[in-house]
Amino acid sequence: MPARKKPTASRPPTPSPNTETHCERRHPSEVSSPEAKGRVLIVEDDVPLSTVVEDALTYEGYAVVGTARSAEEAISMAVDHGPDLVLMDVKLLDNSDGIAAAGQILQRTGIRCLMATGQTDAKTIARAALVQPLGWLPKPYDDQEMVQAVADAMRCNRAS
């Protein structure tokens, strides 16, 4: 059996001609296991990127409870599934605001976010400080940087 390639966030994996492209999604309760390093909700409007992020996190032993593309969907999924961590983009589908969503998630659940975004200017960082992010993951990033940032955020989250 050939070695399994790690996914990279720089480009989505390309299915081979013999690989079925349909991927069955499991219910979030089915992805939790005692072996999982933690439960993560991915909030990213770029579908190919969110797929690569999900693959990389799953490969590294995290349970991905779901992927949201908008602020409203992110809040709903965080309330419903109670992840340990939310990996949050700042600019979301339909111009919804990831920072506002992070604030609602924090207020309703106490769950803090790791901000993964290309928006790293001082004004955005100052605005996000109010929602107590666990860290910043500037785009573009590779899968190793992302997995390390998630691991660091999980440690920080557990320590608080």
pLDDT at 36 over 90: no
- Looking at every residue in the chain, the average pLDDT score rounds to 84
pLDDT in tens, 95-123: 999 999 999 999 999 999 999 999 889 99
CA 85 to chain centre: 8
**30 in Cβ contact with 81 (< 8 Å):** no
**Cα–Cα distance for residue pair 158/19, rounded to 1 Å:** 39
pLDDT for the residue 158? 87
Alpha helices in 21-94 (DSSP H): 28-31, 47-59, 71-81
Domain extents in the chain: 35-159
pLDDT in tens, 73-100: 999 999 999 999 999 999 999 999 999 9
Q: What is the mean pLDDT of residues 127-148?
A: 96
> 10 Å Cβ neighbour count for 108?
11
φ/ψ of 97, rounded to 5, equals: -105, 115
If one compares 57 and 22, the residue with the highest pLDDT of the two is 57
Residue 115 burial by Cβ neighbours in a 10 Å radius (0-12, 13-18, 19+): buried
Q: What is the mean pLDDT of residues 57-75?
A: 97
pLDDT at 1 over 60: no
pLDDT for the residue 63? 97
**109 in Cβ contact with 125 (< 8 Å):** no
- Assigned architecture for domain 35-159: 3-Layer(aba) Sandwich (3.40)
pLDDT at 129 over 50: yes
If one compares 35 and 14, the residue with the highest pLDDT of the two is 35
Residue 34 pLDDT grade (very low, low, confident, very high; cuts 50, 70, 90): low
The residue length of the chain stands at: 160
pLDDT for the residue 35? 65
Residue 52 pLDDT grade (very low, low, confident, very high; cuts 50, 70, 90): very high
